[in-house]
Chain A
Amino acid sequence: MKPCNVTEMISSLIDGELSPKDTESVRQHLEDCVICRKEFDALKSVDNLLRDVKPVEPSYDFARGFWKKVDALDARKTKTDARKTKKSLWPIFNDFSWGLRPSLVSAAAVILIAAGTVIFYRSAPPALDPTGMLIAENMALYSDYEIIDNLELFENWEEIIKLDEI
């Protein structure tokens, strides 16, 4: 049989989401229409059935597990922050590395100049002195943590240092 056009409103009526006027007219319809009354009862039963499912309690280690994850996150963040600082300050302040690893120094220079050149050719207006711009860009690279951090070239530095230590 074709359902009445109030079927969707029955669901809203159960949830108390109809305007007073609509509530009144749907209630009136329910008194007159057996099919819709049956629908109303069936949907009410669905709700009651669902509410029969008892809630669960948190397991004994739920909170502990949560704080463990917080600690792990904090540890990862500290490690990342430390790596960021180390990475961005390394070329200037880590004189020890500069002194003992000439191969690394030259590798660093090559990478910095290459990176600087890429940035320069993308962004420099043609009228400026290319050499001056190149130096400026490289100086900016030294001091700007964000740029250095975002340069994928530098992601490999830890690997390069490890190779040098072997």
Chain B
Amino acid sequence: MSPRKSDPDVQLMLCFKDGDEDGFRKLFSKYQTQIINFCFRFCSDRQLAEDLAQEVFLRVYRAAKRYRPKARFSTWIYRIAVNVCLNESRKLKKRYLTQSIDRPFANADDQGNRLPEYQDENQISADGMMASRQREEQIKAALKNLPKQQRVAVVLRIYNEFSYSEIASQMSVSEGKVKTLIFRGRQHLKQTLKGVL
């Protein structure tokens, strides 16, 4: 049996293709956190990340009828996520700008309703918390500073630990290009994070 046929997530997607929505619901709950985090590491904006992640799942949902497993399910869904992040984030951001001009308090309200991003804050001293928060902000800023393709490759490698060949498939580029993107990305980060290292 080929590895993609034995991938349980591919099987769930095939069930969904056959009309069993439960297959999709299982995939949604399994992947939602990691896809949100992939988008969040790409755009550093919590709300935008969730909108991008919803767009990723909408595409998975709509693609069911045409779905043909050619790779592991995770490779496939990240391929969609890469596509959404590279192509849609600017459009969505533009929409936010218009919305926040129209409704200046809507976003502030929304932020208040969301879960805190730092879960064990109360265990760390106030100073330590400040320092670690500041460091996180610096890291996010450094990531955001990377050219988009380098950022995608670095995030897929460092946070998701995909192999170069999987990243190549997710980004539709050659493995050699992935190697260079990750190398340049790391060099870039080393420079911008000099003060934190």
Chain A interfacial positions (CB closer than 8 Å to B): 7-8, 11-12, 15, 17, 42-43, 45-47, 49-63, 65-66, 69-70, 73
* Residues of chain A within 8 A of B163, CB atoms compared: 17
CB contact between A46 and one of B29, B54, B197 (< 8 Å): that residue = B197
Q: With an 8 A cutoff between CB atoms, is B190 at the interface? A: yes
Q: Mark B24-52, 1 if CB is under 8 A from A, else 0.
A: 00001100110011001100001001100
**Assembly CA distance A45 to B197 (angstroms):** 7
CB contact between A69 and one of B40, B54, B164 (< 8 Å): that residue = B54
Q: With an 8 A cutoff between CB atoms, is B177 at the interface? A: no
Asked whether, in the complex, the Cβ of B190 is within 8 Å of the Cβ of A46, the reply is: yes
Binds A, one of B76-84, B101-109, B181-189: B181-189
* Residues of chain A within 8 A of B73, CB atoms compared: none
* Residues of chain A within 8 A of B33, CB atoms compared: 55, 57-58
CB contact between A56 and one of B40, B143, B158 (< 8 Å): that residue = B40
* Residues of chain B within 8 A of A17, CB atoms compared: 163-164, 179
**Assembly CA distance A56 to B196 (angstroms):** 22
* Residues of chain B within 8 A of A61, CB atoms compared: 113
- How far is the CB of B41 from the nearest CB of chain A, in Å? 8
Q: With an 8 A cutoff between CB atoms, is B193 at the interface? A: yes
Q: With an 8 A cutoff between CB atoms, is B126 at the interface? A: no
* Residues of chain B within 8 A of A15, CB atoms compared: 157, 164, 182
- How far is the CB of B37 from the nearest CB of chain A, in Å? 5
* Residues of chain A within 8 A of B49, CB atoms compared: 56
Asked whether, in the complex, the Cβ of B114 is within 8 Å of the Cβ of A50, the reply is: no
Asked whether, in the complex, the Cβ of A65 is within 8 Å of the Cβ of B139, the reply is: no
CB contact between A43 and one of B58, B179, B186 (< 8 Å): that residue = B186
Asked whether, in the complex, the Cβ of A11 is within 8 Å of the Cβ of B183, the reply is: yes
**Assembly CA distance A73 to B64 (angstroms):** 15
* Residues of chain B within 8 A of A69, CB atoms compared: 54, 58
Within 8 A of A (CB), among B118-144: 118-119, 132, 135-136, 139-140, 143
Q: With an 8 A cutoff between CB atoms, is B180 at the interface? A: yes
Subset of 11 A-B contacts with CB under 8 Å: A7-B183, A11-B186, A46-B189, A46-B190, A56-B46, A56-B49, A60-B115, A62-B53, A63-B28, A69-B58, A70-B58
Known: A15-B182, A45-B197. A59 touches B136 (CB 8 A): no
CB contact between A52 and one of B32, B139, B154 (< 8 Å): that residue = B139
Q: With an 8 A cutoff between CB atoms, is B96 at the interface? A: no
Residue pairs across A and B with CB atoms within 8 Å: the count is 99
Known: A11-B182, A15-B182, A45-B197. A54 touches B119 (CB 8 A): yes
- How far is the CB of B39 from the nearest CB of chain A, in Å? 10
**Assembly CA distance A49 to B154 (angstroms):** 13
* Residues of chain B within 8 A of A60, CB atoms compared: 113-115
- How far is the CB of B63 from the nearest CB of chain A, in Å? 13
* Residues of chain A within 8 A of B139, CB atoms compared: 49-50, 52-53
- How far is the CB of B20 from the nearest CB of chain A, in Å? 16
**Assembly CA distance A11 to B189 (angstroms):** 13
Known: A45-B197, A60-B114. 6 other contacts (CB 8 A): A17-B164, A46-B197, A47-B158, A50-B159, A52-B136, A62-B53
Q: Mark B153-168, 1 if CB is under 8 A from A, else 0.
A: 0100111000110000
- How far is the CB of B160 from the nearest CB of chain A, in Å? 11
Most buried by B among A8, A53, A55: A53
